[in-house]
Structure 1
Amino acid sequence: MTVRAVERLSASETDQVLALAAAAERADHVYPLSEDVVLRVRGSSGRHLLAHEADGSLSGYAFVEDGAGELFVGPGARRRGHGSALLEAAGEGPLRFWAHGDEPGAKAFAVRNGFERVRVLWQMRRSLEAPLPDAPLPPGVTIRHFRPGSDEQAWLGVNSRAFADHPEQGRWTLDDLRLREDEPWFDPAGFLLAVDIEDTLLGFHWTKVHPATGDDPALGETYVLGVDPGGHRRGLGVALEVEGLRFLAAEGLTTAMLYVDEDNEAAVALYRRLGFEIHKADVMYQRS
Structure 2
Amino acid sequence: MDLADVSIETVNRASAEDASAVLALAEAAAGLDGASPLSEQSRLELRHGAPSARELLVRDGAAIVGFAHLDGSDLVDGPSAELFVAPAARGAGLGRALLESLAAEAARIDEAGRLRVWAHGKLPAAERLAAALGFTAFRELWQMRRTAGTPVPDLAMPADVRLRTFRPGTDDKAWLALNAKAFAHHPEQGAWTADDLGRRFAEPWFDPAGFFLAEDTDTGELLGFHWTKTHPATADSGPLGEVYVVGVDPAAQGRGLGALLTSVGLRHLAQRTVEGRPLAETLLYVDADNEAAVKVYTRLGFRVHTVDVMYRR
User: 1:119 aligned to 2:139?
Assistant: yes
Distance 2:33 2:100 in 1: 24
Matched, 1:89 2:85: no
Aligned amino acid, residue 79 of structure 1: G
Q: Deviations over 1:19-66 (max 9, x none)?
A: 11112122222211000000011121320000111x221110001122
Q: Larger deviation: 226-235 or 12-21?
A: 226-235
SS in 1 for 2:307: strand
Indicate whether 1:63 and 2:69 are aligned: yes
For residues 86-109 of structure 1, give each alpha carbon's deviation from its aligned partner in whole angstroms, at most 9, with x where no partner exists.
222221421011111011111111
1:231 Cα deviation from its structure 2 partner: 2.9
Aligned counterpart, 2:162: 142
Q: Which runs of 5+ in 1 are unaligned?
A: none
Structure 1 match to 2:76? none
Aligned match for 1:16, one of 21, 34, 39: 21
Percent of residue pairs bearing the same amino acid type: 52
Moved more, 77-86 or 115-124: 77-86
**How large is the RMSD of aligned CA atoms in angstroms?**
1.2
Instruction: Give the equivalent residue in structure 1 for 2:31.
Output: 26
Q: How does 1:122-133 map to 2 (within 5 A)?
A: 122-133=142-153
Give the match for residue 51 of structure 1.
58
How much does 1:269 deviate?
1.0
Q: Give the length in aligned residue pairs.
A: 286
* 1:128–1:245 Cα contact (<8 Å) kept: no
**Equivalent in the alignment of 2:283:** 257
Moved over 3 A (4+): none
TM-score by length of 1: 0.96
Aligned pairs for 1:132-211 within 5 A:
132-197=152-217, 198-211=219-232
- Report the CA distance between 1:165 and its aligned residue: 0.6
Relative contact order, CA 8 A, sep 6+: which one is greater?
1
* Superposition deviation, residue 275 in structure 1: 1.2
From 2, 5, 11, the equivalent of 2:10 is: 5
Q: Secondary structure at the match of 2:294?
A: helix
The SS at the match of 2:206 is coil
Q: Give the match's secondary structure for 2:177.
A: helix
Q: Does the CA-based 8 Å contact 1:138-1:233 persist in structure 2?
A: no
CA distance in 2, matches of 1:283, 1:214: 25
TM-score if structure 2 supplies the norm length? 0.89
2:13 aligns to what SS in structure 1?
coil
- Secondary structure at the residue paired with 1:205? strand
SS of residue paired to 1:42: helix
Q: Distance in 2 between matches of 1:169 and 1:31?
A: 19
Distance, in Å, in 2 between the alignment partners of 1:278 and 1:113 is: 29
Deviations 1:171-206 (A, max 9, x none): 111111111111111000000001121321110000
Q: Secondary structure at the match of 2:234?
A: coil
For the Cα contact (< 8 Å) 1:137–1:235, is it kept in 2? no
Which residue number in structure 2 is paired with residue 235 of structure 1? 256
Distance 1:51 1:79 in 2: 15
Counterpart Cα distance in 1 of 2:229 and 2:264: 14
